[in-house]
A and B are shown apart, each in its own frame.
Chain A
């Protein structure tokens, strides 16, 4: 914080999309915060995107609607955008730019932190290996989330990913440790009703007191969305690395973020990349996703579950495609399962948690976890093949073992996958259900589990 700064310039050369070009600017820095004052005295925030030749290009977060070249003033504040942080942010609701939205005053800040974050020293990074229980069986059992991981959820428009996001935010916890746990929830460009659902859902479940909400709704200016994940992650990093908490950051919907980025890129007349997204989309997304992790010698961790809706359910679309290169696996929400009314409709055959193997087993979940999960993956995959075959030859043409696999597939979807939105299953319950599915197979079909575990947990019906 400085007592200086605050030179106001009144020569606006151009207003273009979300950008304002200011003339005769002597001193401005890249990313510097700018206060735009309209002729009516209304104030908006922006940041410097480019400086040089006496000009500064300012990106206005709240949009440029209503601004005019004459009468608009741009005050260069002399610092980058900062978020005031303290333990008091827990239980609070902010807008997409980090301003209180719950009718309470600004938090009394312990620190003001640059929202762009500080890159983690790769040498200081600690390998993520501790289990986070989400209470959602399919995630805990088959694509386990670990502290410090970034595990996105790929969904299609209109599917139940927001219900899942809220359920994870309500139920997530760290087991086997007394460490504090917090949830930072960033809603990016969601509908007002969805934002309200997230707020009410956390409030009514009592989870709000350990959560921080950032709500950028669809009617907020699109450009604000560029800031929302950064502000949320700044708070998450403070809670994790200054206060030693384990923080789960849920961000929905990253597609809206990428679209805001495309809007700025188009306004700057940059050469468009795939589907009009800027060429630096990968780099930009990585500056968000790479803020997840754990550091050697520090107690806390930042775990990310970004949610992104795939336009036309297309997993090869640039946003999920580039996200997939950065993150450690993905959870894919399936349209077929959604149509069948299954919740959560997660297609396990397209999903994967790359760090799962290090977060499960003896001392974390249970020693048989990895093997029973592999067996269920195998059995469900086989059941899908049998279903396809049944579609051609009919059920009568199937063998007895084929029918058993079909039964496994049905039980998996109806009893394991299907879960109420307020049902919080422990990892023991989840593993019990996995064994129930495995136990539908004859013992000689169980090839991926050690005999000692089969003897211990297999229960023939």
Chain B
């Protein structure tokens, strides 16, 4: 093998290396360019998808927020309304208790005997018989006894009942009973009275 000139051989090597470097650089640059282009394209392509995803997340979030808002408002409204109802009921009950106290302590003279007569009349009509036994409380026995003189076939029971006033009437065969006490009449009218009391508190108008 002959001895090569060091400069010549170096220069050829350098040229080759340069070529390789250039080619590699070109390749790399072209690859980078291609990759950049592809990435940009991908990015561009994904923008509408991202935007739609973004819109979906926002809209889902809004829906969820609306749902939670409705839940909070709904349950607070119900809670407030329930408290109002309980307070109202308490007030109505207080009015009832006071009214019943007043009725129990009211002076039962004068018109009261007329009321008993009316109650007796009504009861015999409803039972369709005057063969009756009448029950009343201890306080009203005298008034009822005197009213009974106008009802032949009717008799006052020796037993007394616990009530504010009025009478309970039983047919003598024991088959039919009609409760015409003041307590029972108030009980029958209670839903209407409750409404009237509530309207005084400004409810239901």
Complex Cα spacing A84 to B204, Å? 13
B176 close to A84 (CB less than 8 A): no
Quote the shortest CB–CB distance from B8 to chain A (angstroms): 66
CB pair A91 B126 closer than 8 Å: no
Check B85 against A105 for contact (C-beta < 8 Å): yes
Closest CB of chain B to A192's CB: distance in Å?
Answer: 22
Could you tell me if B78 and A8 are in contact, using CB atoms closer than 8 angstroms? no
Chain A residues 288 to 344 lying within 8 A of chain B, measured CB to CB, are none
Task: Please tell me if the beta carbons of B63 and A424 are within 8 angstroms of each other in the complex.
Answer: yes
Please report the C-alpha to C-alpha distance between residue A105 and residue B195 in the assembled complex, in whole angstroms.
Answer: 13
Q: Tell me, in angstroms, the Cα distance from A24 to B176 when the chains sit together.
A: 9
Q: What's the tally of chain B residues with a CB closer than 8 Å to chain A?
A: 37
Stretch in B137-145, B157-165, B186-194 touching the partner: B186-194
Q: Which residue of B lies closest to A110 (CB)?
A: B204
Contact (A203, B75) CB under 8 Å given A4-B122, A424-B63: yes
Is A270 part of the contact surface with B, judged by Cβ < 8 Å?
no
Interface residues of A in 92-113 (CB under 8 A from B): 102, 104-106, 108-110, 112
Q: Is A282 an interface residue (CB 8 A)?
A: no
Contact of B71 among A4, A5, A73, A205 (CB under 8 A): A205
Tell whether, in the assembled complex, residue B195 and residue A108 are in contact, meaning their CB atoms are under 8 Å apart: yes
Contact with A along B124-143 (1 / 0, CB 8 A): 00111000000000000000
A3 and B176 contact, CB distance less than 8 A: no
Does B81 sit within 8 A of A, measured CB to CB?
Answer: yes
Q: Are A8 and B85 in contact (CB under 8 A)?
A: no
Chain B residues positioned under 8 Å from A179 (CB to CB): none
Chain A contacts of B122 at CB under 8 A? Answer: 4
Select A9's contact among B74, B85, B176, B188, beta carbons within 8 Å.
Answer: B176
Majority-rule SS of A interface residues: loop
Interface contact tally, CB-CB below 8 A: 98
The prevalent SS among residues of B at the interface is helix
Q: Mark A404-441, 1 if CB is under 8 A from B, else 0.
A: 00000000000000000010100000000000000000
Does chain A have a CB within 8 A of B88? yes
Whether B74 pairs with A206 at a CB distance below 8 angstroms is: yes
- What is the minimal beta-carbon distance from A45 to any residue of chain B, in angstroms? 15
| Structural contact, A11 and B175, CB atoms closer than 8 A | yes
Contacts A1-B189, A6-B179, A424-B63 known; A205 to B70 CB distance under 8 Å? Answer: yes
Q: At the interface, yes or no: B38 with Cβ under 8 Å from chain A?
A: no
Cross-chain contact B70 with A10 (CB below 8 angstroms): no
Which chain A residues border B77 with CB–CB below 8 Å?
Answer: 91, 209
A1 with B192: in contact, given A7-B126, A7-B127, A110-B204 (CB under 8 Å)? Answer: yes
Among residues 1 to 58 in chain A, which have CB atoms less than 8 Å away from a CB atom of chain B?
A: 1-11, 23-24, 26-27
B126, B128, B175, B176: the one within 8 Å of A4 (CB)? B126
Of all chain A residues, the one with the shortest Cβ separation from B189 is A3
A204: Cβ under 8 A from any B Cβ? yes
Q: Indicate if B89 sits at the interface (CB-CB under 8 A).
A: yes
Q: Does A285 contact B (CB under 8 A)?
A: no
Q: Which chain B residues numbered 156 to 205 have a C-beta less than 8 Å away from chain A? A: 174-179, 184-185, 188-189, 191-192, 194-195, 198, 203-204
B20 located at the interface, meaning its Cβ lies under 8 Å from any Cβ of chain A in the complex: no
Instruction: Determine if A8 and B184 form an interchain contact, defined as CB atoms under 8 angstroms apart.
Output: no
Distance between Cα atoms of A110 and B195 in the complex (Å):
7
In the complex the two chains form, is A1's CB within 8 Å of B178's CB? Answer: no
Contact B71 A9 (CB under 8 A): no
B67 within 8 A of A: yes
In the bound complex, how far is the Cα of B128 from the Cα of A27, in angstroms?
9
A206 x B75 contact (CB < 8 A)? yes
CA distance A366 to B30 in the complex (A): 53
Q: A7-B127, A205-B67, A206-B67 are in contact. List 4 more A-B contacts (CB 8 A).
A: A24-B175, A108-B198, A204-B71, A206-B74
Q: Which 10 A-B pairs have the closest CB atoms?
A: A206-B74, A206-B70, A105-B89, A206-B71, A8-B177, A108-B198, A209-B74, A209-B77, A24-B175, A91-B78
